[in-house]
Amino acid sequence: MTTATEPDASPGTADAVAREAQGLERLTGYSRSLRSSEGGGTVPGAARRGRPRLVTAYAKDQALLNTPAKRWWTIAALVVALLAPFYLTRDLTLLLSMAMVFAISGIGLNLLTGYAGQISLGHPFFMALGAYTAAVLGGSPGSTTWGFELDLAIALPIAALVPAVVGLLVAPLAVRVRGLYLAVLTLGLLMLGEQIFKQWSQLTGGSGVGRGVALPVLFGRDLSVRYALGPWIIDEDISLYLICLALLVALGVMARNIARSRTGRAFAAVRDRDIAAEIMGVNLLRTKTLAFVLSSAYAGLAGALMSLLVGRIVPEQWNIFLSIQLLAVVVIGGVATITGTIIGAAFVVLLPRILEELAPYLPFIGGATGGGIITIFQLETILFGALIILFLTLEPRGLFGLWYRVRTYFKAWPFSY
Amino acid sequence: MTTFITSVISGLGTGAVYGLLAVSFVIIFRATGVLNFAQPGLLIIGVFFCSYFAVTQGLPFYVSVVLAMLVAALVGIVSERVAIRPMVGRPVFAAALVTVGLFTILLIVAFRLFDSAARTINDPWQLEQVCLLASDTGCAIPVYHNTIARFVISMVVLGLLGWWLSRSRIGLAMRATSLDQEAALAQGIDVGRVFSLSWAIGGALAALAGILLAANGSVVQATDALFALVALPALILGGIDSLKGAVVGGLLIGLISSITSTYQPIYAPWLGPNFENVVPYLVMILVLLIRPYGLYGTKEVQRV
């Protein structure tokens, strides 16, 4: 009876093959019929007329710049960021560049910790790897240290590649252990790395001495020379600022795209309940390894840029306090948000400067020589700690969450929700 | 051979203190499910107050040790109430991050208290030695008084604590809470009080461990707080939720780093100075490769 009702189910016909193929597609999740981007046509045109912001498809809802307001604000922010260094003093330009480096590194850490849920205290180790790769490839040789004087166009990509490969080697170990064990394991990685960097003096210049960094030569152009572009004068600090900005935009968009893709959803599934994710068909080993490799590559590039900005790197600077600062970037900015990470990085890097400016008006802050209840450095460290606690207990989504609340309030206005 | 025995004995001394520190982590972890990265802060604050009572106030050493432990316990209770209690029911990773924030705050407080000066704690042992095995040139196996004090005090305290936790009603309540907080609550256990108590014990043990580590005849500084991080590999090695594992892990790590510091400069100088500080992490990584939950840790059973 059943064979009679399904006349074309006999094997061998083209239709059956196509059906089977579709079934396989469904199983692997790649089926065209499941793709949401083509679902937009189902809403009749009459319903959409006059409602420009009516979302008719998942893809549109997930678009990078899905509202006109976002589009305009992004353009405005980019223009301001491009023009800012020409109107700011040299030290402020450097500070903003440093904020962007922290943002790149923080985005990497957020991919691993915020999206994929793997807590890592070893991020500075990968930054150091990137910094030393760039310094060896792009730097000039010292009396004891290596240096090949290559172009930044070669040194920077390899500075991302080397940490990624090391991340790939470490990942199988990190995948085996879970949760808090992983946190301590990555801390161990940081400690081991510090010992290696202190001893390997051809690479790092040795403990307490340090080494010079890559020469600022990009595509054969010496960036330390002053260029004039129309009315604008481009100094070395501005060139570096623009490089950081370009990389931040590219890497930020890339991270955002990863986060809203299949991979990003796999990360979130692993974070929320890894066994459930595995049962749903998410390959745990592959997903966690990918998260590690990606975040290491981001960290490496950030480390290389940081070395270019500070001009001299010592093995001691990649320590647990840098680790805490990066965690502060992620937590204060907002766990599992890219925009939030950028805000958080700006906050963490600019806070000391703001406190410095405020110091004369706050009588309890002592100078570098002492006096007062507390020095600026101590105040800023205490503030980081307090802010980490406050944000985690009161607003887990960080500064981005605060902004989100404001946005939702005005979006729904005059209704309360 | 005598060098080896000397190194083993001093390793057992520091290992016992590591065990004490690791147990302070375990007690907090078992009750609240939080890996407390703020332990170094509690440790250094305990050491400071010991020094304050013993040197500045001139109280007898043992009295000031007890007072310092009380202060550290109090700091632990307050931190738990302010920062950890709101995190109940949230992901473990978030709570661990909160303790990282707590760590930076306590560390800066300690820096302010020490005021960038080195302090002594005026312990009765200083650098005195007893001779375990005499030889014709003098002493073949000298043992420092502080090594004996470290081992004996740590083991006695741990033994008493273990006995009390397994026999008393409060110990039972703590074990019930570590099994299932909601079920414990339903049985009439004041889970909040168990949290406070576990942080108090954790703080007091950290302070005692810090004082024993500082009692080496030299001075102590605020940056010595980071020394407490050595207990982390010991903790992970033994398994994060096992009291027995913490003690075994502590003793193992103490032995390994002591033997390394004796022989590594002779046989493998290229590994560099202070290699004994990273050897615990190396051992920890190797053990985690084979046993992801440490030597005695409970394998996490998850319901999906």
What is the reported pLDDT for A8? 45
**A399 and A356, same structural domain?**
yes
Are A377 and A370 in contact by the 8 Å Cβ rule? The answer is no
What Cα–Cα distance (Å) separates residue A292 from each residue in A167, A173, A342, B56, B121?
6, 11, 20, 51, 45
Higher pLDDT, residue B90 or A372: B90
Inspect the interface and report whether the beta carbons of A385 and B105 lie closer than 8 Å: yes
What residues contact A13, with CB distance under 8 A and at least 6 apart? none
**A267 and A167, same structural domain?**
yes
Whether A202 has its CB under 8 Å from any CB of chain B: the answer is no
Residue A22 inside a domain? The answer is no
Chain segment A91-129, per-residue pLDDT in tens: 888 899 999 999 999 999 999 988 988 888 889 999 999
Q: Residues of B with CB below 8 A from A373's CB? A: 112
pTM of the model: 0.84
Q: Calculate mean pLDDT across residues B152-165.
A: 91
Q: Per 3-state DSSP, what percentage of chain A is helix, strand, and coil (rounded to 5)?
A: 70, 5, 25
Given pLDDT bands bounded at 50, 70 and 90, which one contains residue B209? very high
Whether A188 has its CB under 8 Å from any CB of chain B: the answer is yes
**Residue B191 to chain A, least CA–CA distance (Å):** 19
Interface test mutation site (partner B, options A382, A384, A394, max chain B beta carbons within 10 A): A382
At residue A238, does pLDDT exceed 50? yes
**A255 and A208, same structural domain?**
yes
Interface test mutation site (partner B, options A388, A394, A395, max chain B beta carbons within 10 A): A388
> Percentage of chain A surpassing pLDDT 70?
86
Closest CA relative to residue B207, chosen from B71, B54, B100, B58: B71
Tracing tokens 């007091």 back to the chain, one arrives at B204
**A251 and A104, same structural domain?**
yes
Inspect the interface and report whether the beta carbons of B105 and A113 lie closer than 8 Å: no
Residue A58 inside a domain? The answer is no
Chain segment A252-281, per-residue pLDDT in tens: 999 999 988 889 999 999 988 888 888 888
What is the reported pLDDT for A367? 54
**A242 and A146, same structural domain?**
yes
Whether A179 has its CB under 8 Å from any CB of chain B: the answer is yes
Given pLDDT bands bounded at 50, 70 and 90, which one contains residue A315? confident
Domain that holds residue A413: 319-417
Whether B48 has its CB under 8 Å from any CB of chain A: the answer is no
Higher pLDDT, residue B231 or A232: B231
Chain A and chain B share a number of CB contacts under 8 A equal to: 130
Cross-chain CB nearest to B108 (options A382, A388, A389): A382
What Cα–Cα distance (Å) separates residue A297 from each residue in A7, A118, B191?
55, 16, 44
At residue A292, does pLDDT exceed 70? yes
Domain end: A316, A349, A373, which one? Answer: A316
Chain segment B48-106, per-residue pLDDT in tens: 999 888 888 888 888 999 999 999 999 999 999 988 888 877 777 788 888 988 988 99
**A203 and A190, same structural domain?**
yes
**Residue B138 to chain A, least CA–CA distance (Å):** 37
What is the reported pLDDT for A128? 93
Tracing tokens 């590594």 back to the chain, one arrives at B264
**Residue A113 to chain B, least CA–CA distance (Å):** 9
**A155 and A298, same structural domain?**
yes
**A400 and A299, same structural domain?**
no
Inspect the interface and report whether the beta carbons of A392 and B284 lie closer than 8 Å: no
Whether A275 has its CB under 8 Å from any CB of chain B: the answer is yes
Residue A21 inside a domain? The answer is no
What is the reported pLDDT for A74? 87
Residue A3 inside a domain? The answer is no
Closest CA relative to residue B212, chosen from B43, B55, B32: B43
B45 backbone φψ class: left, alpha, beta (φ>0; ψ -120 to 50): alpha
**A347 and A282, same structural domain?**
no
Inspect the interface and report whether the beta carbons of A382 and B282 lie closer than 8 Å: no
Chain segment A34-59, per-residue pLDDT in tens: 444 444 456 667 777 777 777 777 77
**Residue A231 to chain B, least CA–CA distance (Å):** 47
Are B175 and B85 in contact by the 8 Å Cβ rule? The answer is no
Q: Calculate mean pLDDT across residues B160-184.
A: 88
Closest residue of chain A to B99, computed from CA coordinates: A389
* End-to-end CA separation in angstroms for chain B: 55
Q: Calculate mean pLDDT across residues A362-378.
A: 64
**A182 and A287, same structural domain?**
yes
Selected residues 248-277 of chain B with any CB under 8 Å from a CB in chain A:
270-272, 274-275, 277
Inspect the interface and report whether the beta carbons of B93 and A113 lie closer than 8 Å: yes
Query: What is the greatest pairwise CA distance in chain B?
Result: 69
**Residue B135 to chain A, least CA–CA distance (Å):** 38
**A308 and A258, same structural domain?**
yes
For residue A367, give the DSSP letter. B
What residues contact A72, with CB distance under 8 A and at least 6 apart? none
Strand partners, B130: B143
**Residue B126 to chain A, least CA–CA distance (Å):** 31
Q: For chain A, what is the domain count? A: 2
Q: Calculate mean pLDDT across residues B225-238.
A: 85
What is the reported pLDDT for A364? 66
Mean pLDDT of chain B: 85
**A325 and A183, same structural domain?**
no
Inspect the interface and report whether the beta carbons of B281 and A173 lie closer than 8 Å: no
Chain segment B264-304, per-residue pLDDT in tens: 888 877 777 778 888 888 888 888 888 888 888 777 666 65
Whether A387 has its CB under 8 Å from any CB of chain B: the answer is yes
Whether B282 has its CB under 8 Å from any CB of chain A: the answer is yes
At residue A2, does pLDDT exceed 50? no
**Residue A253 to chain B, least CA–CA distance (Å):** 26
Cα angle vertex B93, ends B277, A161, to 5°? 65
Domain end: A298, A316, A334, which one? Answer: A316
Exposure of A72 in the CB half-sphere (CA atoms within 13 A): 3
Closest CA relative to residue B93, chosen from A24, A272, A76: A272
What Cα–Cα distance (Å) separates residue B228 from each residue in A134, A299, B26?
34, 28, 14
Q: Calculate mean pLDDT across residues A163-175.
A: 89
